[in-house]
Each structure stands twice: as C-alpha cells, then as structure tokens.
Amino acid sequence: MNSPAAVAYPTRKGEAQMTYRQEPAVWSDLDGPPLGPLSIDQLRQYEREGYLVFPGLLDAGLVRTLNNELVHATREAGRATNPRFVLGNSDGDVRRIHDIHVNRPEFGELAASEPLAGAARQVLDSDVYLHLARASILPGTFGEGYPWHSDFEGWHARDGMPSMRCVGISVLLSPTGEHSGAMLLSPGSHRTFISAFSAPDAQSPPGWEGRHEPDLIGIEAVLDGSGIERIEGPPGTVVLFDSNLLHATLPNLAPDAVASLFFAYNSIENKLRDPRSGNEPRPEWFAHREATEPLPAMETAARSR
C-alpha cells in the first residue's frame, strides 16, 4: 500500500483543532496470512487500540548488556558539550542521549532486530529507517515524568513528516511501575489528531518538547473518551505504539533510576519534507533526513513470544 499525499493536519496555527485520522494504523493486509512476527489478532488489536505490549520480550542477558553499554555511554568524554547529550540542570547527570545507536553497535543491532524492526515493517507494510533513536534515564526519587503528547504532532509540524506511517517502540531497561516511571497510554486515541499552539518564540531548541502549548481541552476530551492504561513490566518489556497515540510518563519516585530506549521507525515512503512550522530543520541527530537507508533484517537474543 502506498502512502497518500502529504496530509496537512492543522497545528500550531493559533487555534485548537481536532482532526480525524486520515490514514490506516495498520498498512498491511489484515485478511491475508501474517508476513512478520505479529499475528493477525495482534495486528487487529494494534489497529483498534494503537499499541501492543510484550512483557519481558528481551532476554535477560541482552538487557544486562544494554544496561552496561548505557552506563558506558553516559560516561562518554565530551558529553557536557555534545548536543546529543541532555544533562540534568542540578546535577549534570545524563538524562537523554540522542542517536544512541551511532557509536554503540549493540543498540543499532537491537533496533534492526526482527522482533522490533520486523514488527514495524509489518505494521507499516514497508521497509523502514530510524527517524530517531534515543536513551532516556529518569533519576531516582525526583525524576520528572513527561506530559501527555502525540509524537506525530511534533514530527509533522517541526520535521515535516508527511503522514502517520511511522511507529514508536519503547524498550524498558528497568522495572517500571506506578511509582517508578511507568508509561501511560490512551487506547484508541491514535484515531484523533490534536493540534497544538505555537509559543511566542518560533525558533525552538532541539528538545523533545519544542516551543508549543498542547491543546489541553482536546487532550482531556480524548482521554475522557478513550481512557488510560498504565504500562508496567520487568526489564526487557517492549511497547510498540502508533506515532499519533497519546502517551505520557509518570514521575520516578523510587530510589533507583529508570532507563529506557526509544526507536521511531518511519516508512521509507514517508520521508521528511520541509517543516510545516516554518522553522529550520532540526539537527540530523534528532530527526534523520540523510540517514534514511532501510534497516537490514537482523536477529536478536529476544525470547520468542
């Protein structure tokens, strides 16, 4: 199935708008045999709810390796002046590392593995490339969460992503729960695009939040209709979700830090265009415009479903 012409979902225009989704969530054939790691029932659930959760999917040994590599990455020389690293304001500890896969092959191999990239290819019915890849660390006790948002709203406005033919995959490297940075998802919210308001200064820094104000009334209306699910799981849990799904992260009130990985897989038929917001394109390490070669098929140490 080919992507439709770029859809101009209105956002950051000074007024709140809610637009019904204009493309499918699952692009592959739901009436034929499954051509990937997901079953037809799983694909139908994804189409309906906008996400799938695989508790403890990754092998414990692989999770240990990834955690060890992440520790080494946080100690990388020059991190204080490297824009790929986001540091805490009070302690200077690493909070986020963009393009985590570039210098750390273990993360690149995981991103290209069949349980992850294969699922993305199957949902999108297309070869895929990494739109972005990052590691996040919520510090213990006072680790702030992230508010409700749709990834696609920012990617559409700031990066010129034409359509919603893109999926996100979160990999939990730490146990998460109600008090330890659990992810919140709103089932079915991927069917509605919710606009945002531009903030006064148009040139936003390359942070995930950008300079905009979400339409809180629209978000509340969708949450009221769709509900909220809290995602908890052991290390190695994988969450596959639609780029337009409303999601948030609870604060980490537990004493230990919580680490996770996030990979955004974009269809090669959905490559970025000029930003709709009028801004300059964000850096390559934040939103890939040049590194768009399809990911190769690769195995991993994930256990079977």
Please name every residue paired with 169 in a beta bridge, in sequence order, or none if there are none: 240, 263
Question: Which stretches of the chain drop beneath a pLDDT of 50?
Answer: 200-209, 301, 303-305
pLDDT of residue 13: 81
Residue type, 83: P
pLDDT of residue 185: 98
Please report how many Cα atoms fall inside a 13 Å half-sphere around the Cα of residue 248, on the Cβ side.
18
pLDDT of residue 73: 95
Full-model pTM? 0.92
pLDDT of residue 303: 47
Q: From 248, 243, 208, 255, select the one nearest 231 (Cα to Cα).
A: 248
Arithmetic mean of pLDDT over the chain: 89
Give the number of other CB atoms < 10 A from CB of residue 268: 16
CA dist 305 to 38, 57, 101, 230, 243, Å?
9, 7, 25, 21, 23
Taking the C-alpha atoms of 249, 253, 256 and 262 in order, what is their torsion angle to the nearest 10 degrees?
0
pLDDT digits (tens, 9 = 90+) for 155-169: 999 999 999 999 999
CATH architecture of 48-267: Sandwich (2.60)
Residue 53 CB partners (closer than 8 Å, separation 6+): 231, 233, 237, 238, 239, 240
